[in-house]
Each structure stands twice: as C-alpha cells, then as structure tokens.
Structure 1
Amino acid sequence: MKRLLIIGIGAGDPDHLTLQAVKAIAATDMFIIVDKGEVKQELVQLRQDLIHEHGRRPYRIAEARDPERDRSAAAYVEAVDDWRARRAVACEALIQELGDDETGAFLVWGDPGVYDSTLAVVEEILRRGNVTFDYEVIPGISSVAALTARHRIGLTRVGRPVHLTTGRRLAEQGATADDMVVMLDAHCSFAALPDHHVYWGAYLGTPDEILVSGPVAEVGDRIRELRAEARERKGWIMDTYLLRRQEGTLSG
C-alpha cells in the first residue's frame, strides 16, 4: 500500500528537526510541496533545503499549487472547507503518482496537529475514495513551543487552563481564560485587553524573528507597528502570542 508521512519540521529553524523527522525524510521517495506563490517562496525553499540535506537520493519533489482562498467571506468555516476540498483534489493527483511500495511525505511547518490543515486534507482525500494509503504523523516543534522557549516562560500556570484560539475568536469573545495562545491575529485583537501581558513573536526560528513582551498597554502599539512594517517588507507574516492576565487581576 502507498504510505504517507506527515512530518512536522518546526517553526523555522532548520535545527528544529527532530531525529524522528530526519529519519522520516530519509525514508521518503516523493515529497509533496504545496506552493503558496512567489510571495512565500522562502517557505518552499526551506523545505527544499531540508530535503536536500536529509533526503536519500533518488527522491522526487512534486509541487501542487495552493488554491486561492477567500479570506473575506462572511461564512468563514464554509470558506475554509471549500479551500481544503480544492487543496485535497490537487494533492490527491500527486499521491496517485506514488507506487504501491513507495512513501510520500508532506513537510509541515511547525507541528501537524497545531493550527494546520494537512491532516484534514489527507482525511478528505481518503474520504473521496479515489486513492488508498496508510499514513503516519511525525510531531514537530510548534510555533507555540518556539514562542515560550524564546521568551523563556512556561505555557501553563498552576491550576490555570490555557485556551488556544484565533485572532478572530478573541475579537468576538474577548478573554475566555487567564492564559490564551492566539494564532495569526491580523488585527492585533489583544489591544482590547490592556490589563494583560503579551508575549509576541513573528517569524519564529528564522533570521527575521521578532520578539516583544510586556503589558499590552505599554507594548501594544509597538507590536502593531512592527507587524505592519514586517508584513509590508516581506509580503507575509506568521506570528503567535501568549496573552496572560496579570497576577493582580486573575479571575476565578
């Protein structure tokens, strides 16, 4: 049977690769890379560099163009489902090129189980029933782990839950826990919570890494400025932050 490996490659630093990931890359016959366009070409380049360093020849690289996604749609969940379905079609065609005794692999930014669509796309391909395969997930260092390590903080506090959410949800619901990890917040929704402390990071693990921490009331404007400047300069940004209610205002 065809075999797929979903390999977490870390948040951006080539040294984030685990030994398990290195072995998985070496065991791969065909790497499937989803090309997100010229603006994010450096994300493709990092994957190609890792393949070149750790892959065992002869291997093949197959590229699928990422479908356009409507990020302004009012029906957000439906828009994401549609995008994933179209991505599944593109990737399915490449998986069909695998021989029955071959192994294919997706190199996934960060960890495949944290804020990534690859697992959902793979399950969609299996549901479609046009190709069968077995697959294995190789965990990676997530942007959340990289963020807390770079800021030298723990993710959790005694007796306190951590809520993983999005900028969209934070804007809609406000603070739902004393500690919240927020992914890809284009609108800097933390600004509405000046009594919190923020640990923010962009391009974690890369030469362009940016780190800021402090009370939102003091560093919020700086983060907004840095984020806007970086996105304008590079054409894209990936950022993550931990929003923590300060000790004197803990709820409960």
Structure 2
Amino acid sequence: MPDLSGKTAIVTGCASGIGAATVRRLRADGAEVLGTDIDPSGETVCTEAGARFAVQDVADIALWPEIVAQAGEAFGRLDILVNNAGIVVSLSIEDVTDEAWDRVYGVNIKGTMAGCRAAIAAMKENPGGSSGSIINIASTSAMAALPNDVAYCSSKGAVRVLSKSVATHCAKQGYKIRCNTVIPGATETGILHKAEEEIPGLMAAVAATSPMNRLADPAETAAAIAFLASDECPFMTGAELLVDGGALSIHPGF
C-alpha cells in the first residue's frame, strides 16, 4: 500500500461510489482528508473514515478558494486533490437542452478546472516548496462515446486534455506538481443501481462490456488514485491510468 503519511487531500464527490471509496483509501494509507459533496450525506462517509467534510457544489467556482483554504487551515498544507465529482444527464445531441449541457459542463469540466487552479495556488505555497498531485477522474466514455450521453462524454473528453495541459504547464513552470487522469470503466455505484430499477438488466449488460465480465468495485479505482497520489510515481504526469477491466482493449466484435 502507498504510504501517504503526512500528506493531506481534498476529495470531491465523496458521498458515494468512487469518491467515498477514495476517502476511505487515502485515510487508510495515512493521509488527512477533506471530503466534499453537494450531498450532505457525505458527512457520514467522512466521519466514519475519520475525515473532515464540507458541503460543496464544485460548479460554484467562487467557493473553490474557500474549500482549499479550509484544508490549509485544518492541515497546514495541500498535497493531493482528487477531482471526482461528476454528473450524467443522458441525452443525445438532438435532445440535449442548453440547461442540461451547462449543468454537466459546469460540474464535470468547469468544476475540475477551478479545482486544479485553486489547488495549484495552494500547492505552490507548501512548506518546503511547491509539491502536489492532482488526480482528475474521467471515464471510458471520454474515449469511446455513447450516443445518448453527448454532454457527459464530451465533458469527460475535455477532462483528459485539461489534465495534460495542467501537467505540462506545471512541469514547464518548474512546479513539483503532477496532474494525471484516472479513467474508470463500468463501476458498481448507487447511480448504476438506481438506473437498474428503470432499465432491468442494465447492470449485466454494462458488466459484459468488460472482458472480465463484471463491474469494478469503487475500491479498485480508489487504489489507482492512491498510487498516483503517492511518491511512488514521481515521473508520472499527464498520464492516463485505465481501470476498465480491459473494456477498451477488446474489439467490439469479440
């Protein structure tokens, strides 16, 4: 397990799924964690894990400096940011509304951008000099699009390139701040269980997209996040780490 002792982290979208699993994993590895979510039930997750909690709509970019300041006041520094919060509005290009488009982009890409910007400002001021690891969560839908999720797929594609721009900027500036992307495949989350109620058989169909023929446990993605957050990969920046059970590696006809 990576040793994150002495490190501090912010994890957005902590109330469930990958975010909740990440809070638990980073705490288990020794990091101090501030979890945030628009859903106040995230406080229960954080309390049980021994983490702090703050209510946050990541799309409210004016709130980001305050969230980062809370971490600084509580922990004295910021070492890790996990931009995990995201939303899906399943609509095709013909059906998507301006309101739906703006909300998805507000959370998935504008919120991620604002988090990166605020985190870099804090990480530059860390005791001992600039240092930190930013991990942005994309999706296999950023690489193999879905016809009825135009806003989600395109926003997660933007997250991939945003991460590379952040990574190369920090490197060129001489900041010891890395930025990488984790790309999860189909993962067993509350959102998927809820969708199964409306579309019976959905979970089995989604699981079948992976050669492993199963859904990922959120803890499996959290393990990849913990690795990127650690000092075990100091030369990894601008990278994309797939946690998809081989879904993007197999020809769709097989």
TM-score, normalization by structure 2:
0.35
Q: Which structure has the larger Rg?
A: 1
Larger strand percent: 1
TM-score, normalization by structure 1:
0.35
Larger helix percent: 2
